A and B are shown apart, each in its own frame.
Chain A
Amino acid sequence: MFDPEIIRSHFPFFSHHPELVYFANAATTQKPASVIRGIAGFYEKENTNVHRGLYKLAANTSQKYEQVRQKVADYIGAEKKENIVFTSGTTAGINLVAQSFLAPRLQPGDEVVISIMEHHANFIPWQQLCKNKKANLRIVPINKKGELDISAFKKTISQKTKMVAAVHVSNSLGTINPIKEIIDISHKKNIPVLIDGAQSAAHFDIDVNKLDADFFVFSGHKMYGPTGIGILYGKEEFLINMQPAVFGGDAIKDVRIEETIFADPPKKFEPGTQNIAGVIGLGLAIGFLNKINKKEARIYLNKLTEYATDELKKINGLEIIGRAKNKSALVSFIFENIHPHDMATFLGAENIAVRAGNHCTQPLMDFLKIPGTVRASFSVYNTFAEVDRMVGAVRETEAFFR
């Protein structure tokens, strides 16, 4: 039986902040004790650098590091651990694909297709690359509910399209995009697809093989892991042919004055000393997630989100932004007469942590003609009682501003 209170007891953060309602999970999730202690334990007892250490401690660290790679591969259904590149996060993963994969293939007049709901991290790298290459960035719109317009997407992609990049779950609207359909449609025209899984990696069952995703990127810190660690999954045939964008030690086979031969992937994309403690922490976060029944978690989070939505909707003047049929565990809302930052400050003063603003999706906010939203995003340790507290505070604030 899924019990948020039991899950909550694994998170030391909440014993330090018993009064806090933490609804900023789309920004970053809290970390279970296993992750926190594992990272501290690594630094206390095992701290050594990976690879080429000819003593036992270093060999153990290398082994652990590579075991996490396998764990990540298993977690997302990748064929091999060599498909898994450690990055500093989703942003770094997308930039790597833009620079190393797409840049050499992109010609003037070519097109990159993304959606209007992309996070800046999945927007700016393509925008800037297109500018540099005199290529065109094409944007697929959404309907009134905040769902991707699939028929517009079909019309937008063409022989000119060299890349499609789409978010799995929108961090502003909560929309769950039909990524399998997006990939299938794109592959019919031989267009590679990158999926931004930052918001989906924690609670969705990801199977990159079944999806046939070419690239899949996500971050550790939004799935109960540490900050500064992320994953780029790439198909082998692509990773092999990609030049690294960042150069340095350990990512090479052979270095001569005239020439360097790079290591095989994934190592060639991991130059310099990596975030080893971050990798260890990510492995522990996946261990934590593997103990949660994800289907039950999603059912619970859906109920929580539906409840929050229904209760918020009863408040005078409140408008829900993002009403997709398939929606994840967040609710964005606005008031005509109350700026999101004012609402968030009032909620903050009541010990309710929400995010407010454009959520790094400024083009989406411009498209919706709003300055931003208040966003409450839920996780497995949140409760109905917490939703009640937020709804009460929103109602009081609305009355104050009336």
Chain B
Amino acid sequence: MNEELKKLYKTVILKHDKTPFNFEKKEGATYRVQAYNEICGDRFELFFEIKNGIIEDMSFYGFGCAISKASTSVLVKKINGQPIAEAKKIIELFLKNIISKNKNTEIKDEEMTAFSAAKDFPGRQKCATLAWDEMKKMVNVE
């Protein structure tokens, strides 16, 4: 089996795919963000509250591949409980790391860097950024 691919999945992705963080549908949430990839049909929804400028009670639900599910799960884990300004920074950092060609050595958090290899596999970069891209739009408005 392809070692690069095994590495990509093994560290973070399989864990979050099998046991996603706050994987729960909350119909009554004040804020709901849709993350839909029309190319493959992956569809997730983020649920959260914003109280005093802090993202709270965040959860997500939906269906997609292991990469998109895990990356959404990591997003929820990383920005839940963060002030919006901090969430913005985290999102920027994550996306920059995925898009850039050089490995970002500043980030020590494995969950934040695990997805960067996705771009080496045809058509899979979007899976890693799907929910992050949508959340970025949302926090930039707030």
Contact = CB atoms under 8 A, between A and B. Distances in A.
Nearest to A401: B14
* Interface footprint category on B: 20 to 34
A340 B67 CA distance: 12
Interface string B51-66: 0000000000001111
A108 interface: no
Interface stretch (A62-70, A142-150, A344-352): A344-352
B9 A400 contact: yes
B121 A349 contact: yes
Contacts, number: 50
A345 B41 contact: no
Interface string A334-376: 0001111110011011100000011000100100000110000
A339 B121 contact: no
Interface string B37-52: 0001110000000000
Given A348-B121, A349-B121, A342 B66 contact: yes
A264 interface: no
A266 to B, nearest CB: 36
A341 B127 contact: yes
B1 A345 contact: no
B5 interface: yes
Contacts of A156: none
B124 interface: yes
Contacts of B65: 339-342
Interface in B114-129: 121-122, 124, 127
A342 B67 contact: yes
Given A339-B64, A339-B65, A371-B63, A346 B41 contact: no
Nearest to B39: A357
Contacts of A342: 9, 65-67
Contacts of A396: 1
B122 A346 contact: no
A362 B36 CA distance: 15
Contact of A339 (B4, B5, B66, B122): B66
Contact of A357 (B9, B14, B41): B41
Given A362-B41, A371-B41, A349 B127 contact: no
Interface residues of A, number: 22
A350 B66 contact: no
Given A371-B63, A400-B9, A401-B14, A341 B1 contact: no
A338 B18 CA distance: 10
A397 interface: yes
Given A341-B40, A357-B41, A358-B41, A346 B2 contact: yes
B101 interface: no
A39 B121 CA distance: 33
A138 to B, nearest CB: 25
A400 B3 CA distance: 12
Contacts of B9: 342, 400
B108 interface: no
Interface in B1-29: 1-2, 4-6, 9, 14, 18
A372 B66 contact: no
A107 B1 CA distance: 58
A179 B66 CA distance: 39
B38 to A, nearest CB: 10
B130 to A, nearest CB: 12
Nearest to B124: A345
Contacts of B42: 371
A174 to B, nearest CB: 21
Interface in B45-91: 63-67, 69
B94 to A, nearest CB: 21
A338 B124 CA distance: 15
A345 B5 contact: yes
B5 A349 contact: yes
Among A338, A348, A349, the one with the most B-chain Cβ atoms within 10 Å of its Cβ is A349
14 contacts: A337-B18, A339-B64, A339-B65, A339-B66, A339-B69, A341-B65, A345-B5, A350-B1, A357-B40, A371-B41, A371-B63, A393-B1, A396-B1, A400-B9
Given A341-B65, A400-B9, 16 more contacts: A339-B64, A339-B66, A339-B69, A340-B65, A341-B127, A342-B9, A342-B67, A345-B121, A348-B122, A349-B1, A362-B41, A365-B41, A371-B41, A371-B63, A393-B1, A401-B66
Interface of A: 337-342, 345-346, 348-350, 357-358, 362, 365, 371-372, 393, 396-397, 400-401
- Top 4 A-B residue pairs of the complex, sorted by shortest distance between their CB atoms: A349-B2, A339-B65, A341-B65, A349-B5
